[in-house]
Amino acid sequence: MRTVIWLREDLRLHDNPALHHAALSGDVIPVYIYPQGLGAASYWWLHHSLSRLANDLSEQGVELILKTGDPAEVLADVCRAVGADRLAWNRVYSPAGIDLGRQVKERFSQLDIALQSFNGQLLTEPTQIFTKQGTPFKVFTPFWRHCLTTLEPTELLGRPDFKPSNITVESESLDDWGLLPTKPDWSVGISERWQPGEAGAQTRWESFLSGRIRRYKDGRDIPKDENTSMLSPHLAFGEISPKQIWFETHEAIAAREVDSDNGNKFLSEIGWREFSRYLLVHFPHVISASFNSRFEEFPWQTDASLLHAWQHGQTGYPIVDAGMRELWHTGYMHNRVRMVVASFLTKHCLIDWRIGMDWFWDTLVDADIANNTASWQWASGCGADAAPYFRIFNPILQGEKFDKEGEYIKRWVPELSKLGKRFINKPWEADPMTLKLAGITLGETYPWPVVDHKEARQRALDAYQVIRKPAQ
């Protein structure tokens, strides 16, 4: 049996069902097709991830084939060229991913080639999960409770044992794809923080499971520490399987190496990942429309200078600026701070959540269509099971609560590094002498707040009244 594998968001060898099953039954020809529409940071990640995967495969005598073009046609051509008996892939559960799968099935209905698809991306199968009434879940807690009753740790699939083969197909060159930035090369900070690829994913996972997971429940909200798993880009590119995470966390809990409070809290975040994909499968329109349709009438405002200040970490609110600069330099932002900056953009600045989402899409190395859409809608109050719109994060109190000493802020906003903790979240309240001693001149070395918190809060609540009124 000769199988062409269509690699997509599953750039790994371990626990990769499509690769594993194909390797058991004969020759394997893995193909990756240039994906349109990724953000710049994701293309950077993709380059390195593909390069490492190609190395891992080549050590086992298998070549990764790179192609550009319409996936259905490219796959049909490759299958014909190698005389494939079968095309297999791991499913992608985004609307575009589902649509591509459909197009490939249609194209192959005219060919005498078997098709096989697997779930390598999720713990659950979204089309199998419904409430007792037979409708899709819209709230996370009952969804996850339901999943927990059905989920069982299954044995993981090891690395495939490829059979040597001499099949050759012409591949494009990864370098010719031009995925890396050159002029300017903005990727230095990103390269310092991350090691894309399966080996990097496994290293992160092992270090988290043998250490930081034990303080996850409380530690996950403290941005100055790396208490979370930092697996998000690896999960987004499928460099580690959620089943491995699920299985090995349960093993660690059973062996009492990890207490169930911390272990289960961590797994519930993996549950949010499941839920955001589940929502897109059942409500694909929310990829660009508010889940709560009343928000389609929300009086969003256009303000280029506010948006620019937010994007570049120049809002005058230190926790917001620290987060936006962490994102710019490293392609990542701590989850607590993501919530604060998203709330700030949509509520303090009244800028449409889709504009913030697009910025994240371009700059995050973990940009993930489902998590990004669901999280932006959650933070702006228009999503399924969202934070209520009227609950508006106070960026000063958020900073004082989760970055008490201002260490996170000082790391990313060095011009405030000499300011004491009393004023670190509100430099504009410091007396002139304190500012002078800290080397700060507001409006010159660090901005005045771009909006006044109290006024902005009231403005947001007033705007909300517009859509709160029931239709006449």
Q: Which two tokens stand for residue 349?
A: 């600045």
CA distances (Å), origin 251, targets 60, 153, 209, 256: 30, 9, 11, 9
Nearer to ligand FAD, 216 or 446 (CB): 216
Three-state SS letters, 244-271: HHHHHHHHHHHCCCCCHHHHHHHHHHHH
89 catalytic? Reply is no
Nearer to ligand FAD, 12 or 21 (CB): 12
Nearer to ligand FAD, 213 or 430 (CB): 213
376 catalytic? Reply is yes
Q: Catalytic residue among 119, 335, 415, 428, which?
A: 335
DSSP state of 442: B
Smallest distance from the beta carbon of 435 to ligand FAD, in angstroms? 32
Q: Which two tokens stand for residue 451?
A: 């909006």
- Return residues touching ligand FAD (CB under 6 A): 220, 228-232, 235-236, 269-270, 272-273, 276, 335, 338-339, 342, 360, 364, 366-368, 371-372, 375-376, 379
Q: How far apart are CA 399 and CA 404, in angstroms?
A: 7
Nearer to ligand FAD, 350 or 364 (CB): 364
Smallest distance from the beta carbon of 62 to ligand FAD, in angstroms? 28
Nearer to ligand FAD, 38 or 115 (CB): 38
Q: How far apart are CA 382 and CA 389, in angstroms?
A: 7
269 catalytic? Reply is yes
Q: How far apart are CA 167 and CA 49, in angstroms?
A: 24
Smallest distance from the beta carbon of 47 to ligand FAD, in angstroms? 19
Give the DSSP H/E element, type plus range, for residue 32: strand 27-33
Smallest distance from the beta carbon of 172 to ligand FAD, in angstroms? 28
- β-sheet bridge partners, residue 31: 6, 65
Q: How far apart are CA 350 and CA 344, in angstroms?
A: 8
Q: How far apart are CA 260 and CA 404, in angstroms?
A: 28
Q: Catalytic residue among 353, 359, 361, 412, which?
A: 353
Three-state SS letters, 126-186: HHHCCCCCCCCCCCHHHHHHHHHHHCCCCCCCCCCCCCCCCCCCCCCCCHHHCCCCCCCCC
Burial of 101 (0-12, 13-18, 19+ CB in 10 A): buried
Q: Catalytic residue among 300, 400, 407, 428, which?
A: 300
Q: How far apart are CA 10 and CA 238, in angstroms?
A: 4
Nearer to ligand FAD, 162 or 360 (CB): 360
Q: Are 292 and 385 in contact, with CB atoms under 8 Å apart?
A: no
Residue 86's SS3 state is strand
**What is the CB neighbour count within 10 angstroms for residue 269?**
15
Smallest distance from the beta carbon of 324 to ligand FAD, in angstroms? 12
Q: How far apart are CA 343 and CA 392, in angstroms?
A: 7
Smallest distance from the beta carbon of 267 to ligand FAD, in angstroms? 9
378 catalytic? Reply is no
Q: Are 351 and 345 in contact, with CB atoms under 8 Å apart?
A: yes
Q: How far apart are CA 235 and CA 28, in angstroms?
A: 24
Q: Catalytic residue among 44, 376, 378, 412, which?
A: 376
Smallest distance from the beta carbon of 286 to ligand FAD, in angstroms? 14
300 catalytic? Reply is yes
Smallest distance from the beta carbon of 145 to ligand FAD, in angstroms? 17
Nearer to ligand FAD, 71 or 233 (CB): 233
Smallest distance from the beta carbon of 14 to ligand FAD, in angstroms? 17
Nearer to ligand FAD, 376 or 412 (CB): 376
Q: How many CA atoms lie within 13 A of 14 on its CB side?
A: 16
Nearer to ligand FAD, 107 or 193 (CB): 193
178: left (phi over 0), alpha (psi -120 to 50) or beta: left
Q: Are 373 and 287 in contact, with CB atoms under 8 Å apart?
A: yes
6 catalytic? Reply is no
Q: Catalytic residue among 272, 328, 359, 378, which?
A: 272
Q: How far is CA 293 from the centre of its chain?
A: 24
Q: Catalytic residue among 63, 269, 400, 407, which?
A: 269
**Which residues participate in catalysis according to the annotation?**
269, 272, 300, 335, 353, 376
